Amino acid sequence: MNSMMNSLKQYIDLHDEHRELIEAHAPQALNNLRQQARQALEGATLPLKGQEDYEATDLNAIFAPDYGVNIGRLDFDIDPSAVFHCDVPNMSTCMYYTYNDIFHPSNTARRQEGGVVVESLAQAAVNHPQLLDRYYGRLASLDDPTVALNTMLAQDGILVYVPAGFTAEKTIQLVNILNYTRPMMVVRRVLVVLEENAHARMLVCDHTQSADVDCLTSQVVEVFAGENATFDYYDMEESGPLTHRVSSIYVHQSAGSNVLVDGITLTNGITRNDYHVVVDGEHAETQLLGMTIASGTQHVDTHTHLDHRAPRCHSNEMFKYVLGDQAVGAFAGKILVQPDCPRVEAYQGNRNICSSNQAKMYTKPQLEIYTDDVKCSHGTTIGQLDDEALYYMRTRGISLDEARNLLMQAFMADVIEAVRLDTLRDRLRYLVEKRFNGTLANCGACAAVCH
């Protein structure tokens, strides 16, 4: 086995050695795909740095350390809701937690009016087995080794289900807390199903408590938006410098659906975010947004694939990076318009500022269009702060640091304004200001400790 295979082989060996234990702690719907995922990993490799035609994340290196995995499903003696308090002003949410890889509803979380369901996949296997049988693993591609690895090891996860015609009045908030005393990998699955004419908003927050311990999050999210459904998914990372995160989000949109996916990275270690959106019905609308602020030696890599399979749809994609110090950013985005899909409007943008000479940004936007009568565009820019604007502000008594911070905040303004949750939009303005001022530690009163 060569070195390129080692990072996968150790997890294949772990699965093979403990297969019975893994399956004993997982619902049947997850076990049904486990061996298929195991077979998909035979002979697979993870990309090395420099293998692709732009500078991407070295996935092999991320998975190479000998991380522990909680295959025994051991819980921790802690109530996350007692030690974590989200301090977003005026935000009323139904809050849920995963503490490491264990799902915890908060004391205030309860079944929302209209039968909205938020529960573990293990619970869903008992209460809603037909949903898992129909949807689990149907979008996430096992051709991606990181997805196959996640599917092979996943033992539980979270179901969010909104029945036809109902609206989740409160935002569903999921807080993921990482807190270990030794290097560990968390395997996370999220399944979101909105039936026709259903509406919901979801805010997911990642936090690391043990900043001096190497942790890896492997995450796969599948979202099904039925006809005329509306769904907002906000994914906000505020993790530690030793946290590695590999996340794949898959979305399927039916006719008339409206989906907004917004990835926000404020603090992190090394992050790889993949977004796969299939627009599979007429008059669907998609917003795919992202905002990254990175400094030190942080690394954020974004891949997007937006597949238009139906006519008369609209999508808007915009990712913005501000990189300082020795931070590295990467973006590779593709918009695909399939044959016989006229009157599609699809726009892709990637705008970047490197605020230091050592920061690096790699970008590769792409369009593939196989239909006439469409409006599509893509573009990217990489630049530095405007010297003339800095000079103008300095002449009016504004310090250099303050002037730089104001310009960077203005650069992010349109991405923040696209947030459709008022309280979160206001909070993001505050968090971005703190981040550029160098005073952001975390957004909540995180004081969780592991016992």
* Cα distances (Å, whole numbers) of residue 252 to 132, 139, 278, 362: 16, 8, 5, 28
Asked if the structure places residue 412 within a domain, the reply is no
| CA 170 to the chain's CA centroid | 21
Average pLDDT, integer, range 354-364: 93
Tokens, residue 168: 């989740």
Count how many domains the chain has.
Answer: 1
Domain boundaries, position 372 = 3-384
How confident is the model at residue 85, as a pLDDT?
59
Read off the pLDDT band of 350 (50, 70, 90). very high
User: Tens digit of pLDDT for each residue in 276-333?
Assistant: 999 999 999 999 999 999 999 999 999 999 999 999 999 999 999 999 999 999 999 9
Please report which confidence band the pLDDT of residue 181 belongs to, taking 50, 70 and 90 as the band edges: confident
Q: Is 400 contained in some domain? A: no
Report the pLDDT value the prediction gives residue 31, as an integer from 0 to 100. Answer: 97
pLDDT band at 429 (very low <50, low <70, confident <90, very high): very high
Q: Is residue 416 part of a domain?
A: no
Q: Let me know how long the chain is.
A: 451
What separation in angstroms does the CA of 227 have from each of 224, 253, 298, 304, 444?
10, 8, 39, 23, 36
Q: Is the pLDDT of residue 202 over 90?
A: yes
Task: Kindly state the average pLDDT of the residues 62-69.
Answer: 92
Query: What is the Cα 24 distance to its own chain's centre?
Result: 29
Is 434 inside a domain boundary? no
Whether 111 shows a pLDDT value over 60: the answer reads no
Are the CB atoms for 178 and 217 separated by under 8 Å? yes
Collapsing DSSP to helix, strand or coil, 407 comes out as helix
Please, is 87 exposed, middle or buried when counting C-beta atoms within 10 Å of its C-beta (0-12, 13-18, 19+)?
Answer: exposed
Per-residue confidence (pLDDT) for residue 3, from 0 to 100 = 44
Percent of the chain predicted with pLDDT > 90: 70
As a whole number, the mean pLDDT across the chain is 89
Residue pair 207/178 in contact (Cβ under 8 Å)? The answer is yes
In a domain, 190, yes or no: yes
- Helix axis angle for 387-394 and 400-417, nearest 10°, is 120
Per the CB < 8 A criterion, the answer to whether 111 and 168 are in contact is no
In this prediction, residue 114 has a pLDDT band, given cuts at 50, 70 and 90, of low
Residue 186 belongs to a domain: yes
Under 8 Å CB-to-CB from 3, ≥6 apart: which residues? none
395 vs 9, higher pLDDT? 9
d(CA 105, CA 116) in angstroms, rounded, equals 14
Residue 389, in any domain of the structure: no
| Residue 412 confidence (pLDDT) above 60 | yes
Q: Is residue 270 part of a domain?
A: yes
CA distance 220 to 203: 16
Count CB neighbours of 48 within 10 A: 14
pTM of the model: 0.93
pLDDT band at 193 (very low <50, low <70, confident <90, very high): very high
DSSP β-bridge partners for residue 301:
272, 330
Nearest to 203 by CA among 412, 421, 414: 421
DSSP string for 189-213: EEEEEE-TT-EEEEEEEEEES-TTS
Quick count: other Cβ atoms within 10 Å of Cβ 388? 8
Contact 285, 315 (CB under 8 A): yes
- Tens of pLDDT, residue by residue over 81-107, are 655 656 555 677 888 999 888 898 776
pLDDT at position 52: 59
Beta bridge partners of 366: 334
